[in-house]
Amino acid sequence: MQFKHPEILYALFLLIIPIIVHLFQLRRFQKEAFTNVAFLKQVIIQTRKSSQLKKWLTLITRMLLLACIIIAFAQPFTSNNTTFNTKPETVIYLDNSFSLQAKGEQGELLKRAIQEIIDEVNPDEKLSILTNDAVFKNTTIKTIQNDLLQLDYSANQLPYDAAILKSKNLFQKDSNLKNVVFISDFQQKEEPFTLEADSSYQFNLVALKPVSLTNISIDSAYIEKPTASTTLLKVRLSNSGNPIDNISVSLYDGEKLLAKTATAISGEAITEFSLSDQEISNGKIIIDDTSLQFDNILYFNLNKPPKTNVLTVGENDNYLNRLYASNEFNYVSSTLSQLNYSIIDNQNVIILNEIERFPSSLVNSLNNFISNGGYVIVIPSENSDLSTYNDFLTSYSLTFNPKIDSEKRVTQIQYAHPIYLNVFDRQVSNFQYPKVSAYYPIASIGNSKPLQFEDSKPFLIQNKQLFVFTAPLNTNNSSFSNSPLIVPTFYNIARQSLKTPELYYTIGRENTFDITVNMQQDDILSIQNNQASIIPKQQYFNNKVTVTTDESPDMAGNFDILKKSESISKVSFNYNRDESSMAYQDLSNLQNITISNSAADMIKTLKSNSKVNELWKWFIIFALAFLLIEMLILKYFK
């Protein structure tokens, strides 16, 4: 039992006054002469005994009466909380990520949790509710009931620490009782759910559990070309439950069924489709699975890729001509003296192939070309005019030093560099390393070095869109043109210069791709389908637009890239497959928190904890009862 005004209890010390009065018997007795002494003794004895009992009973009832009145004014109550008349404040984090599509005993986990919140929370009680993509601050269930019932799944789940921080920020500063209710399935993630000790908040976890841990998902898809005339679309499936003998996989272009197959799957399986037509503008792969629904479909498109424009300036470009002979490239070569400067802006890659000097007009054109997103590859000549070379290179924190005639091997490959990523299955040690007979030492600050000599000096160095070789590549000076490294090096640099849309992108990540298009001053590109339309971040260069997306679009599907109302390309977006996992975190090691598997049970517990039972009315009743008892004693007790 607790008291709202415990200081009033000091008045109980006043009860000592009637005790003193009764103990000292302040009333004086009067002597009276009486002839029958024997009878007198009997009367005195009976009177004294009855008088003492009556006095003690009266004393007790009066003291209890006064005590009850004093205690009633102190306003006693019982509660699980330590404070009185302080309304607890509640913030609920409701995880609406795709993993909450899993079915519990009474339907989808998210939908059931929403219904329990609506049913159990007092309709007029003030609270705040936070989801992955919405905030309802200091509101009531009655106000937001329709919003909750229409709440959709979110492609992006808040990290646990961000959700905790946002929940804390929703509390009023003067709130004494702060309840944080976390409703989630607590999937296993790279960063597990943890709580730092904080006595200001009471954390209550609702760990929702599905009835089945089986889920089959389309993990990813990719293209392989085993031959020039064959294109294979490979689909990777994952299964978190028991092995399945037969799962159906269908391939569509829009609503047109292109192919259908079935495969067995235990943990993981790969199935493939052979494509005769390389262009699929509205592709989607669909499986039949009754668990999570968001990962049963994967959207993709196979656009006809635009050609990359490559210009070589210099002499003896035979090996470069062979490298860029495929129909992926528009390859043009020119000598320096015959170079048409007007075509520079239309290129994606310019290769300066062993020219002896850099005219100032070329330097200005190249600087402007790079600033507009173009890529440049510099291969020095054996007779390079270093002063003109450095006029160009110093703008990129690079400086050539005089040539050194010394044989060196190219032995160090940065396998994680974008132009070599996924080129090698593993790091090679028995490689026939290319050699050079002479090279130009180069001074650089903070630049990437994809290829290095055996003494760690750079052979190929990169500054953003500029790639510089430090040795001539002609066969008289280097064996690099005959090395297996030459193909991925030049091919991938050229491919980087024009980032054509990939098979698909993942929502929630930063995605960048280029669209080859000529734009007027006020033209913009938009991404649109029949359900959504967005204007993404975009940057226009000479002959392309670089488009960047991150949080938008927030809906998976195939989209048109529009210039005004004209569709000029396609792009596809899919939900992140991290939510497909059916593995959950063990919360039993967390301390000083309440854990439940039901939102309804947790809300009932919070209601019970915050309920205050006021007892002052009972003490008033007791006081009246003792008053009545005293009156009866005084009237009827003889």
Handedness of CA 621, 624, 629, 630 (dihedral sign): positive
140 vs 278, residue with greater confidence: 140
Whether residue 377 is predicted with pLDDT greater than 90 in this model: the reply is: yes
Whether residue 6 is predicted with pLDDT greater than 80 in this model: the reply is: no
Strands (E), 276-417: 280-287, 297-302, 308-314, 329-334, 349-353, 375-379, 398-400, 408-413
Express each pLDDT in 117-145 by its tens digit: 888 888 888 888 899 888 888 888 888 88
Q: For residue 215, is it left (φ>0), alpha (ψ between -120 and 50) or beta?
A: beta
Q: Which stretches within 372-504 are classed as H helix?
A: 386-393, 486-497
| pLDDT number for residue 388 | 92
Whether residue 469 is predicted with pLDDT greater than 90 in this model: the reply is: yes
CATH class of 308-497: alpha beta
Please tell me the distance from the alpha carbon of residue 90 to that of residue 129, in angstroms, as a whole number. Answer: 9
| pLDDT number for residue 286 | 95
Question: Looking up tokens 């940065």, which residue turns up?
Answer: 414
- 601 near 607, Cβ under 8 Å? no
Beta bridge partners of 49: none
| pLDDT number for residue 3 | 65
| pLDDT number for residue 596 | 84
308-497 has the same fold as 89-211+582-611: yes
Q: Are strands 458-463 and 178-184 parallel, antiparallel or unpaired?
A: unpaired
| pLDDT number for residue 242 | 83
| pLDDT number for residue 462 | 92
Beta bridge partners of 525: 563
Average pLDDT, the chain: 84
Residue 41 gets which letter from DSSP? Answer: H
| pLDDT number for residue 44 | 53
Whether residue 211 is predicted with pLDDT greater than 90 in this model: the reply is: no
Mean pLDDT across the stretch 232-236?
90
Whether residue 312 is predicted with pLDDT greater than 90 in this model: the reply is: yes
Mean pLDDT across the stretch 580-589?
84
Q: Superfamily for 89-211+582-611?
A: von Willebrand factor, type A domain (3.40.50.410)
| pLDDT number for residue 228 | 61
| pLDDT number for residue 160 | 86
Residue 609 gets which letter from DSSP? Answer: H
Q: How far is the CA of 144 from the CAs of 74, 134, 149, in angstroms?
A: 40, 12, 9
Name the residue type at position 635. K
Whether residue 102 is predicted with pLDDT greater than 90 in this model: the reply is: no
Which of 17-21, 152-156, 375-379, 495-499 shows the lowest per-residue confidence on average (mean pLDDT)? 17-21
Whether residue 248 is predicted with pLDDT greater than 60 in this model: the reply is: yes
Banded pLDDT at 23 (limits 50, 70, 90): low
| pLDDT number for residue 81 | 56
What is the phi/psi pair of residue 89, to 5°? -110, 135
Express each pLDDT in 480-532 by its tens digit: 888 888 899 999 999 888 888 889 999 988 999 888 888 887 889 999 998 88
* Residues near 402 by beta carbon (within 8 Å), at least 6 away in sequence: 386, 440, 441
Q: How far is the CA of 328 from the CAs of 307, 310, 323, in angstroms?
A: 5, 10, 11
Express each pLDDT in 392-405 by its tens digit: 999 898 999 999 99
| pLDDT number for residue 43 | 52
For the chain, give the percent of residues with pLDDT over 90.
22
Handedness of CA 406, 411, 414, 418 (dihedral sign): positive
What is the phi/psi pair of residue 88, to 5°? -70, 145
| pLDDT number for residue 51 | 66
Whether residue 83 is predicted with pLDDT greater than 80 in this model: the reply is: no
Helix or strand run (H / E) with residue 113: helix 109-120
Q: In this structure, which long-range contacts are made by residues 321-328, counting pairs with CB atoms below 8 Å and at least 24 apart in sequence? A: 323/486, 323/487, 323/490, 323/491, 324/490, 324/494
| pLDDT number for residue 638 | 60
What is the phi/psi pair of residue 626, to 5°? -70, -35
Strands (E), 414-477: 435-436, 442-444, 448-453, 458-463, 466-469
Express each pLDDT in 36-76 by its tens digit: 665 555 555 555 566 667 777 777 887 787 788 887 777 77
Please tell me the distance from the alpha carbon of residue 203 to that of residue 379, in angstroms, as a whole number. Answer: 63
| pLDDT number for residue 213 | 86
Q: Superfamily for 216-299?
A: Immunoglobulins (2.60.40.10)
Per domain, the residue ranges of the chain are 2-81+615-636, 89-211+582-611, 216-299, 308-497, 505-566
| pLDDT number for residue 237 | 93
Find how far residue 621's CA is from the centre of its chain. 59
| pLDDT number for residue 39 | 56
Tokens encoding 385:
């005019």
Tokens encoding 469:
């070789």
| pLDDT number for residue 461 | 93
- 605 near 596, Cβ under 8 Å? yes
| pLDDT number for residue 279 | 79
> Whose CA is closest to 185, among 585, 576, 575, 578?
585
* Residues near 245 by beta carbon (within 8 Å), at least 6 away in sequence: 264
Express each pLDDT in 542-565 by its tens digit: 788 899 998 888 889 999 999 888
355, with CB counted inside 10 A (0-12, 13-18, 19+), is buried
Handedness of CA 323, 327, 328, 331 (dihedral sign): positive
Whether residue 32 is predicted with pLDDT greater than 70 in this model: the reply is: no
